[in-house]
Amino acid sequence: MKYIVILGDGMADLPDPSKNNLTPLMAAKTPHLDKLAEMGKSGLFKTIPESLHPGSEVANMAVLGYDVEAVFEGRGVLEAASMGVELQPDDLAMRCNLVCVEGDILKNHSAGHIGTEEGAELIDYLNEKLGTDKVRFYPGVSYRHLLVIKGGNKMVKCVPPHDVPEKPFAGLLPEASSPEGKETAELIRQLILDSQKILADHPVNRKRREAGKDPATSVWPWSPGYKPKMQTLQEMYGLGPGAVISAVDLIQGIGVYAGMDVIKVDGATGLYDTNYEGKAQATIDALRDHDFVYLHIEASDEAGHEGDYDLKVKTIEYLDNRVVCFLLEETAKMDEPVAMALLPDHPTPWKIRTHTRDAIPFVIYRPGEMPDGVTEYSEPAAAKGSYGTVKGNQFMKKFLGIE
């Protein structure tokens, strides 16, 4: 048996009275997602432990069956692994967003989804102006970058910027969560304020304003941690070679620690305009020499953060007709059976524009096993599935046929 996890980041949502009480999953036309549900068994998955923030890093590690409370060390360390940044034991790594601050307001978490080349130019400039033997910025993709503080202390409380759009930023600045973290918290706060002075009139931002785009007027570091100790999927489950396909550094970094090969696809953006067909083809190609493929598609999460119901519906329909349709057709031709799982990592309700910890709907299709009678893929349909509600590593064990 070979295995594909199809993860539509943030797909799950809440019924909305203004939309006939339909979630985007319920409103979208998804014959192929529904077909997968009809072929398999459904359930709900509580991916977020009560003790942790409902971030994609936590949720995707949970999907893979990790004891997240034991191994979680923040988002930055995972993105460092994806970038090939080798962390030393005393290196504090943090996700570092380029954000748009207008006046006193943190307008958005992505600087208007700034381009990768523009972002890299700004990060290089920040290194020139703010980098030291202790502080280093590393460029990533779009607005997602990395800050490493040598000798930093992780006892710092940071607010994820996608949780607080249109809020005054001053009350959201990092704070020490213990006396040991005070010096690091003060350093990060100063980096944020200094970056706003440095970036305000940078040529990249002048051009963005002239083009009617949001400028990247500040950095926003968050999710601090040290290099984690994680087993590979082979060590946990005895799986053969695995591959991860994602446009997002965070997911690629999880893949690195999980012992998977990172497969990058031209035109993969993390947005609704991503190369859906390329990612689907890369998945099929990867199955030739991998036993397990983790296909991650970010677009629906970003639509949720933008507060755009119609765009979220569109991203789900793209997943259905540009990815899942192809995977169903191609895996049916293979000599070896291919099991497929379909799920988001967490909900990103479009009305509140951030993640929640509600249980997410999932489908597991294992060739040769009897379906459970659920005939569509949605939040209420999955709640009627035979798996009930699972947590911890129960999802992966059921998917792999371990229990």
Split at pLDDT 50, 70, 90, the class of 271 is confident
| pLDDT (mean) for 180-206 | 97
The Cα–Cα gap between 353 and 6 comes to 23
The Cα–Cα gap between 40 and 352 comes to 32
pLDDT exceeds cutoff 90 at 296: yes
Split at pLDDT 50, 70, 90, the class of 188 is very high
| pLDDT (mean) for 260-272 | 93
Collapsing DSSP to helix, strand or coil, 339 comes out as: strand
| pLDDT (mean) for 288-292 | 97
| pLDDT (mean) for 282-310 | 96
pLDDT exceeds cutoff 90 at 109: yes
Q: What is the pLDDT of residues 28-83, one digit of tens each?
A: 999 999 999 999 999 999 999 999 989 899 999 999 999 999 998 888 898 898 88
Structure tokens given for 142: 């779009």
Q: What is the pLDDT of residues 235-258, one digit of tens each?
A: 999 999 999 999 988 899 999 999
Q: Tell me, what's the pLDDT at 193? A: 96
Residues counted in the chain: 403
Which residues neighbour 16 within 8 Å (Cβ) at sequence distance 6 or greater? Answer: 22, 23, 309, 351
Q: Tell me, what's the pLDDT at 256? A: 92
Q: What is the pLDDT of residues 299-350, one digit of tens each?
A: 999 999 999 999 999 999 999 999 999 999 999 999 999 999 999 999 999 9
pLDDT exceeds cutoff 80 at 397: yes
| pLDDT (mean) for 248-277 | 93
Instruction: Please state, as a whole number, how many other Cβ atoms lie within 10 Å of the Cβ of residue 171.
Output: 10
Which residues neighbour 382 within 8 Å (Cβ) at sequence distance 6 or greater? Answer: 37, 42, 43, 44, 361, 362, 363, 374
Split at pLDDT 50, 70, 90, the class of 9 is very high
Structure tokens given for 118: 């523009």
Bin 387: left if φ > 0, else alpha if -120 < ψ < 50, else beta: alpha
Average pLDDT over the chain, rounded to an integer: 95
Q: Tell me, what's the pLDDT at 187? A: 97
pLDDT exceeds cutoff 80 at 403: no
Q: Tell me, what's the pLDDT at 234? A: 95
Each as own residue / partner, the long-range contacts of residues 268-273 (CB below 8 Å, 24 or more positions apart, any chain) are 269/142, 270/141, 270/142, 270/298, 270/299, 270/302, 271/113, 271/298, 271/299, 271/302, 272/299, 272/302, 272/303, 272/311, 272/314, 272/315, 272/318
Q: Tell me, what's the pLDDT at 79? A: 85
The Cα–Cα gap between 232 and 293 comes to 14
Q: Name the pTM for this structure.
A: 0.83
The Cα–Cα gap between 81 and 86 comes to 7
Q: Where in the chain are the domains?
A: 2-72+230-400, 80-226
The Cα–Cα gap between 156 and 186 comes to 10
Q: Report the amino acid identity of residue 179.
A: P
Asked if 398 contacts 364 with a C-beta cutoff of 8 angstroms, the reply is: yes
At the top level of CATH, the class of 2-72+230-400 is: alpha beta
